[in-house]
A and B are shown apart, each in its own frame.
Chain A
Amino acid sequence: MSYLPNILFAIILIGGIGYFVKNVKKLFRNINLGQDVDVSDNKPERWKNMARIALGQSKMVRRPVSGFLHVVVYVGFVIINIEVLEIIIDGLFGTHRIGLSILPTSVYGFLIGTFELLAILVLIAVTVFWIRRNVIKLQRFWKSEMTGWPKKDGNFILYFEMVLMTLFLVMNATDLHFQSLNSGNIISQFIAPIFSKLPETTLHVIERSAWWIHIIGILIFLNYLYFSKHLHILLAFPNTYYGKLTPKGQFNNLESVTNEVKLMMDPNADPFAAPAEGEADEVPAKFGASDVQDLSWVSLLNAYTCTECGRCTSECPANLTGKKLSPRKIMMDTRDRLEEVGKNIDANNGEFKDDGKQLLGDYITNEEIWACTSCNACVEACPVSIDPLSIIIEMRRYLVMEQSAAPSELNNMMTNIENNGAPWPYNQMDRLNWKNE
């Protein structure tokens, strides 16, 4: 009978981690629905970016207030989780504060003391975050795409962290043995008096409950990630690693187009020549993207990584002047559609069944796509190296090359280039006239 809690703990732990692993697999599969791109280059630079941007939070601190608070929560979150290690060992083996029997009391006290300090700092930071979202109503959290689930999600995470931190402190405050050591209880010693009138058995029940709810809460939180913008705490790392290294202004040249253009321009090319090896059974290339599968897998990773912070949108010239375009919404739509496609595949035994929908049209409108100035402000602003612009350009490519659906003024401009070699209807032979004007 005495093993019951250990067994229960093991079951909860395995269940919690198991469900998480299942969803991570799904995540991988969904990201892999994207087109292949070669990102195996420049490994040292990529590691450096990851260390600087994800680990070092270099882009977060560009906005000093939220940046600083975020660093507190981030550092707190990472370090306090060392405590989870002890909880897991205690839970599995029925020990109590195993750390105390391994480490000298002073060292253990130092560790827990640090955790407690961080816990209270996280609690404060998270409260300020909540106030910024809900009381001050910072504009970027109240844009049109931030209603319904995204809005709730943002707050849920904050509540989660508040509850977890409180449980951790309460657990320590009601642990008589720990309090009697008087080492490391720098915060919880001030909470302990609240409970001091309660009988020892009640205290024990509170301590145990806090302990259990704390670890269960962490497992729920872990599994919540997949459904939340909070996934960035994991994906920010690969995402910054795979982020764009070339100058921001450089758009990729479509290889499929290069081949065709070369054929068109080369008078000696034999249009009936056998395609090079490997190309024979390839499906004819689709130019640009109208759905998530047409985007590169890095774009799909981008979509799952997006924290919905809206820094991109708050710098977007189109959005700032009241246009429908919001780079954050581009990322959120991409993720939503990708999730929809993933569920479709799950429901149809691993095959995608055409649902008559696509990302372009059903989620993102042409109006949004054409409002972009390709200014890269969104890319620059993103704290986790997301590139909304590349998705916009892929969709323009689809609209122009597959659908001939550019705004008519742009069609005129392109006809001019074809006919006169300039976007305006001027004669090529007048190109040097400025010299004598």
Chain B
Amino acid sequence: MSEQLNVPTMEELMAQGKQPDILFWVGSAGSYDDRAKKITRAFVKILNKANVNFAVLGTEETCTGDVAKRAGNEFLFQMQAMMNIEVLNAYEVKRIVTCDPHSFNCLKNEYPGLGGNYEVLHHTQFIKELIETKKLDIKDGVFNGKRITFHDPCYLGRANSEYNAPRDVLATLNANLLEMKRSKATALCCGAGGAQMFKDAEKGDKEINELRTEDALKTNPEIIATACPYCMTMMSDGVKVKEKESDITVLDIAELIAQSQNL
């Protein structure tokens, strides 16, 4: 048990006749995966600290259907999408933020065609906005001079051409940012995308996350930063396989920012 977070649900706000400024889409990984839940909590701490008027769907949220779509199950995807859209539209949601680039991509690009039109932000974009509008004041300290390398999630980077927001946010930490040789548009996938997260890899001579971890290790980092719950799993496993857990931590950008604020 840790300190109480303020996490209003849409239902509660609705009952009070209130409308939040933004909906936080937690996503399945952020709701159930033990490691990803920490990212979710870190992000909520940031939202609380910046006094953001937000809400979550809570038990009314269900899988975006993204992973079903990547696996080829268009039926399941559209069923999930239409159920979610019904709920989102009923609550008259206008703006959504999520820590999961896969949900981000799906909500932003694939929901509009099915009747779900929202402004969708990735949490790195939203944190950047909070910093720029002075709602969040990053005091350097904890990460001063730390060697941090950022792994671009495919569905944020290549898929949606967002390479700057995570880097801009990291830049506020006054850390020593290191780029891997393959970064931004040429970043190597962590291996989780396209439903790979949920199955064993096909026969090969290496796991993709190991290869990507090797990329990261070449920068000799103290911290590997990610911005996706699946990348988190993959990179953490990679660091374990390379037996580097004692030297290197893998952290989501939300966690880095929360820690820098002593949240």
Interface residues of A (CB under 8 A from B): 246-251, 253-254, 257-258, 260-262, 264-265, 287-288, 315, 317-318, 320-325, 367, 370-377, 379-381, 393, 395-401, 406-407, 409-410, 412-414, 417-418, 421-424, 426, 428-437
**A265-B82, A376-B159, A431-B59 as given contacts; A393 in contact with B72, CB under 8 Å:** yes
Q: Once the chains are docked, how many angstroms separate the CA of A421 from the CA of B83?
A: 10
* Bound complex: CA A53 to CA B204 (Å): 34
The reply to whether A436 and B199 form a contact with Cβ atoms under 8 Å apart is no
Q: Specify the chain A residue showing the minimal Cβ separation from B111.
A: A253
Shortest C-beta distance, B2 to chain A (Å), equals 8
Q: Is the Cβ of A417 less than 8 Å from the Cβ of B204?
A: no
Query: With A246-B109, A257-B74, A380-B186 as given contacts, are A322 and B63 in contact (CB-CB < 8 Å)?
Result: no
Q: Is the CB of B72 within 8 A of A397?
A: yes
Is A247 a contact partner of B160 (Cβ separation < 8 A)?
Answer: yes
Q: A398: shortest Cβ distance to chain B, in Å?
A: 8
- Let me know if B78 is at the binding interface, CB within 8 A: yes
1/0 per residue, CB under 8 A from A, across B44-79: the answer is 100000000000101101110101111111111011
On whether A422 and B32 interact (CB within 8 A), knowing A317-B211, A428-B59, the answer reads: yes
**Contacts A/B (CB < 8 Å), 30 sampled:** A246-B109, A247-B105, A249-B105, A251-B69, A253-B78, A257-B78, A265-B83, A317-B212, A318-B204, A370-B202, A371-B204, A374-B70, A379-B158, A397-B74, A409-B200, A410-B195, A417-B68, A417-B76, A421-B28, A421-B62, A421-B80, A422-B28, A423-B63, A426-B32, A428-B62, A430-B31, A432-B58, A434-B31, A435-B7, A437-B41
Q: How far is the CA of A69 from the CA of B2 in the complex (A)?
A: 61
Chain A: CB-nearest residue to B211: A321
Asked whether B65 lies within 8 Å of A417 as measured between CB atoms, the reply is yes
Extra inter-chain contacts (6) besides given A287-B74, A376-B154, CB under 8 Å: A247-B108, A397-B74, A409-B199, A418-B76, A423-B198, A432-B7
- CB atoms of A321 and B160 under 8 A apart: no
B residues less than 8 Å from A374 (CB atoms): 70, 154, 193-195
* Interface size class, chain B: 35 or more
Flag if A315 contacts B186 (CB, 8 Å). Answer: yes
Closest to A254 in B: B74
Chain B residue numbers with a CB within 8 Å of A315 are 186, 188
Q: Are A417 and B80 in contact (CB under 8 A)?
A: yes
B204, A375: Cβ atoms under 8 Å? no
A293 → B minimal CB distance (Å):
19
Which of B26, B198, B208 interacts with A409 by CB under 8 Å?
A: B198
Q: Does B243 contact A (CB under 8 A)?
A: no
The reply to whether B202 and A413 contact each other, CB–CB distance below 8 Å, is no
Whether A373 contacts B189 by the Cβ 8 Å rule is yes
Cβ contacts under 8 Å, B59 to chain A? 428-429, 431-432
Which of B26, B32, B198 touches A413 (beta carbons < 8 Å)? B198
> In the complex, are the beta carbons of B73 and A431 less than 8 A apart?
no
Taken together as a complex, chains A and B put the C-alpha atoms of A250 and B114 apart, in Å, by 13
Contacts of B155 in A (CB 8 A): 249
Query: Nearest B residue to A413 by beta-carbon distance?
Result: B198
- In the complex, what distance in Å separates the CA atom of A258 from the CA atom of B77? 10
Q: How far is the CA of A407 from the CA of B72 in the complex (A)?
A: 12
Check if A410 sits within 8 Å of B208, measured CB to CB. Answer: no
Asked whether A258 lies within 8 Å of B204 as measured between CB atoms, the reply is no
Residue B221, interface by CB 8 Å: no
- B70 CB → nearest A CB, Å: 5
Residue from B7, B44, B198 with most neighbouring chain A CB atoms (10 Å): B198
Cα–Cα, bound, A257→B88 (Å): 21
Bound together, the chains give a CA A322 to CA B208 distance in angstroms of 10
Q: Within the assembled complex, what's the spacing in Å between the Cα atoms of A379 and B159? A: 10
Which of A374, A395, A430 has the most chain B CB atoms inside 10 A of its CB?
Answer: A374
B37 sits at the interface (CB 8 A): yes
* CB proximity of B245 to chain A, nearest CB, Å: 22
Could you say which of A406, A409, A423 has the most chain B C-beta atoms within 10 Å of its C-beta?
A423
| Chain B residues, CB < 8 A from A246 | 109
Contact B1 A317 (CB under 8 A): no
Given the complex of chains A and B, what is the CA–CA distance between A423 and B41 in angstroms?
Answer: 21
CB of B67 within 8 A of CB of A413, answer: yes
- Nearest to B200 among chain A residues (CB) is A409
Q: How far is the CB of B39 from chain A (nearest CB, A)?
A: 10
Given that A249-B109, A414-B71, A422-B63 are contacting pairs, would A322 and B79 also be in contact in the complex, using a CB cutoff of 8 Å? no
Q: How far is the CB of B142 from chain A (nearest CB, A)?
A: 24
* Interfacial chain B residues near A421, Cβ < 8 Å: 28, 61-63, 80
Contact call B206/A321, Cβ cutoff below 8 A: yes
B191 on interface, CB distance cutoff 8 Å? yes
CB distance from A248 to the nearest CB of B (A): 5
Does B174 sit within 8 A of A, measured CB to CB?
no
Which residue on B lies nearest to A323, using beta carbons? B204
> Cα distance A264–B83 when bound, in Å?
12
Residues of B within 8 A of A410 (CB): 71, 195, 198-199
Contact call A325/B105, Cβ cutoff below 8 A: no
Whether B110 contacts A322 by the Cβ 8 Å rule is no
The answer to whether A317 and B189 touch across the interface, beta carbons within 8 angstroms, is yes
Supposing A324-B202, A413-B195 touch, asked if A400 and B73 sit within 8 A by C-beta, the answer is yes
Q: Digitize B198-220: 1 where CB-to-A-CB distance is under 8 Å, 0 elsewhere.
A: 11111111111011100000000
Using CB atoms, name the residue of chain A closest to B113. Answer: A253
Q: What separation, in Å, do the CA atoms of A423 and B178 have in the docked complex?
A: 34
**Given the complex, which residues of A lie within 8 Å of B4, measured CB to CB?**
436
